[in-house]
Amino acid sequence: MTSRDRLKWNGRYAAEGQHWQKSLPRKLLMTYLEELPAAGLALDAAAGVGVNGLVLARRGLRVVALDISEVGLRLARRQAQAEGVALDTAVYDLSRPWFPTDCFNVILNFRFLERATFPMYRRALKPGGWLIFETFIRTPETDTDIEFYLRPGELHAAFADWEVVHSEEVTAVHGRSPQQRPVAQLVARKPEGGD
Ligand SMILES: C[S@@+](CC[C@H](N)C(=O)[O-])C[C@H]1O[C@@H](n2cnc3c(N)ncnc32)[C@H](O)[C@@H]1O
């Protein structure tokens, strides 16, 4: 993480936070919501304004929302307080992650890529826990920040030894642009004895 990234996201959420708060939770999360536990601990990684984590908090999980943007997290926290649901926030740099072993029942990672999180997600999910992940795949037109884009097949390969419930590469809208962009989606459960 650079302070430039933090400033960029803080600026976006300061200017457009309400727009982000009104955006719908990711379809992939809503598709599997009823199968997820209704209690326990969830991580919303790179949570932004917490739209996805709040869905889990409303379901009954206690959610930890991490992001580099304190402006986004403040909006998430206020919304959680207004609704009386359990969502805690912390400014946290996921480029240097450390999480305890077998700690979370659910991990969400939407529209964010930091490969250093892969071994940490593997470790930090409880056996039987759910990883729900969706982010962009690089294309020939991807010209900037190439490290923030997956290679085709990369996400599936990183968790192929888990119980893969859903793995697909599809197109999805990107921000407010009507343009569709390729994303990789993964829903996977950590096996007993897995890491
Ligand atoms: C495209 S937004 C996705 C927000 C949310 N997950 C969603 O799907 O709407 C990317 C988020 O990643 C956060 N971010 C960028 N670099 C980060 C880092 N190194 N550690 C933690 N969060 C980071 C940004 O602040 C921003 O909130």
Atom nearest to 44 CA in ligand 1: 6
Atom nearest to 134 CA in ligand 1: 8
In angstroms, what is the span from residue 46 Cα to ligand 1's centroid?
Answer: 4
Most ligand 1 atoms within 8 A of CB, residue of 67, 135, 174 to mutate = 67
Distance CA 172, CA 184 (A): 10
- Pocket lining: 67 vs ligand 1, CB cutoff 6 Å: yes
Helix ranges, 84-124 (H) = 117-124
Pairing mode of beta strands 177-189, 163-174: antiparallel
Torsion of CA 90, 96, 101, 104, to 10 degrees: 40
Task: Report phi then psi at 21, rounded to 5.
Answer: -65, -25
Q: What is the pLDDT along the chain (195 residues), one digit of tens a residue?
A: 678 999 999 999 999 999 999 999 999 999 999 999 999 999 999 999 999 999 999 999 999 999 999 999 999 999 999 999 999 999 999 999 999 999 999 999 999 999 999 999 999 999 999 999 999 999 877 766 778 899 999 999 999 999 999 999 999 877 666 778 899 999 999 998 877
In angstroms, what is the span from residue 127 Cα to ligand 1's centroid?
Answer: 26
The Cα-based distances of 53 to 25, 44, 194 in angstroms read 9, 5, 25
- 104 neighbors 82 (Cβ within 8 angstroms): no
Q: Give bridge partners of residue 62 from the DSSP assignment.
A: 41
Distance CA 94, CA 127 (A): 22
N-to-C CA span, the chain: 26
Tokens 């949570």 correspond to 47
CB atoms within 10 A of CB 168: 12
Enter the pTM of the model: 0.96
Structure token digits, residue 180: 């569709």
